[in-house]
Structure 1
């Protein structure tokens, strides 16, 4: 059952609300990964497995999405299945939370929207796959993900494997620096490259444990800093893709997108689908592996923050 005060436009599952109130660890999970990021039936299997993995670690999962226009924190299994299998579900960043509410639409929430809703519900940690960022050619198209601004204005810990490989990673890191968003590498000095461990760029700081991340977040909250803390968690070495093959396929994917006239929110799903089809499913395997790896670390961080706040 999902309930919330009449005054709030957000529905929060009883289990999630109770865990937040009792300072028990909760981990937010996005829904676009299964509504727009993965093919069927892998999408539903991955979503369910993520929740099972979270519960197995003693943490409450809070998968976030929009059902009949209502932003929902803590989707039921039936709602996850509904969003996974629907052909009518749309992709909702922060601005679409307004339009989907008016149209009473179902939607998968992006990192930006998920982070916002999680933070509004009192959740402190969010795990995802790869971040949105600056697209190639943004100097003329101004194509930048809303994730950047959302993460600059939403105090939460976000665990990811870096920005998506299709992006201009250097420009994305520069934008995060401009917005004073802290970035740390988890047991690495290199910024993760989504499907690969190293994007070719360094991280400004490194942490070795989830406790260190918890302490950083606690300090950031004490300073009332507005931004998220981004934890770059590289895909395990034995699960990463071949860099040379990946770079060549990404180049062809961008060319195909340009020829097809793909723009805006449709760009990322188009590119990821192209890469999946032209790597024989290797990118899909890596995507799922890195996601579950980030969920595991997110659970550790949520537990560490919960323990720190009980002291």
Structure 2
């Protein structure tokens, strides 16, 4: 059975995913669904907090009127809508592999347990017909990328994945300006939610502006409807949702810990997909858990907004 295309992402037959009954029913009914990544569960948060937070994220989506669809791989099968047993496996197993989009096929063939990144979650969600995705922060262009060519697959994947991505900007370990330039080049739309300042994950303002500000979930849903109706671009729409200033990580503490973390990365020659987990662990340790609390606030706020956008989009679609 052949799939159909949605933008440049091929919407594959349901048999290629293990889609939960709840998610499948919601999609068939045109009800609001929010995709969630699983790397935050396995690699982004320390144990045992990760499983508790994973459940809180899903509950936040439900509390705001949508169905959560956490995406991951269990024994080589992509799952769109993990049950609690699968969430527990990805949260507690030592053998969970971090899966970007290039890793999916090999991981499936090897029958592994894997956690999907922003890139792979976006692609799988769009292929499954889900139009809204909540995450913490995007990957992007790494510092000194002019020499290393180190750039996250998140960027090029979002150029071909028609999905709304709610995030707190990009992680401050990255070259934020270069990341925004790449998003523009790739045709990925970026809007600020009630702000014209692009957030820097742990901090409210990265120092860079965005061109567009939208002030409600309904405005975002309307912009997304127009984007899809035009049919001229297969790219995502990034919704940058900053934390309020009184909820961000203390700025002086952030800058000091970031400088320390970057020195560790350089000293230990850490590269590629290993950079982010190492830096996040350093933040957690050096801030004595303050960064973890901020990280949790970020993802819960983004999950709530994503659900509200999905509800508004579903309502608009039914009119």
Alignment of 1:170-185 (within 5 A): 170-185=177-192
SS at 1:143's partner residue? coil
**Aligned partners of 1:152, 1:80: CA distance in 2, in Å?**
29
Give TM-score, length-normalised by structure 1: 0.97
Match of 1:157 in 2: 164
Could you give the per-residue CA deviations for residues 167-214 of structure 1, whole angstroms, max 9, x where no partner exists?
110110010011111100000010011111100000110000111111
After the TM superposition, which parts of structure 1 deviate over 6 Å for at least 4 consecutive aligned residues? none
User: What's the CA shift for 1:275?
Assistant: 1.4
Q: Does 2:292 match 1:284?
A: yes
Q: Does 2:106 match 1:76?
A: no
Q: Does 2:245 match 1:262?
A: no
CA gap 1:308/1:7 in 2 versus in 1, 3 angstroms? closer
Alignment of 1:123-142 (within 5 A): 123-142=130-149
Match of 2:121 in 1: 114
Q: Does 2:209 match 1:231?
A: no
Match of 1:145 in 2: 152
Question: Do the aligned residues in 1 keep the contact of 2:65 with 2:308 (CA within 8 Å)?
Answer: no
**Aligned partners of 2:35, 2:90: CA distance in 1, in Å?**
17
Q: Does 2:274 match 1:253?
A: no
**Aligned partners of 1:7, 1:31: CA distance in 2, in Å?**
20
**Aligned partners of 1:19, 1:158: CA distance in 2, in Å?**
19
**Aligned partners of 1:27, 1:195: CA distance in 2, in Å?**
23
Match of 1:300 in 2: 308
User: What's the CA shift for 1:281?
Assistant: 1.2
Give TM-score, length-normalised by structure 2: 0.94
SS at 1:24's partner residue? coil
Q: Does 2:111 match 1:104?
A: yes
Alignment of 1:194-213 (within 5 A): 194-213=201-220
The count of aligned residue pairs is 307
Structure 1 unpaired stretches of 5+: none
CA gap 1:183/1:281 in 2 versus in 1, 3 angstroms? same
Structure number with greater CO (CA < 8 Å, separation at least 6) is 2
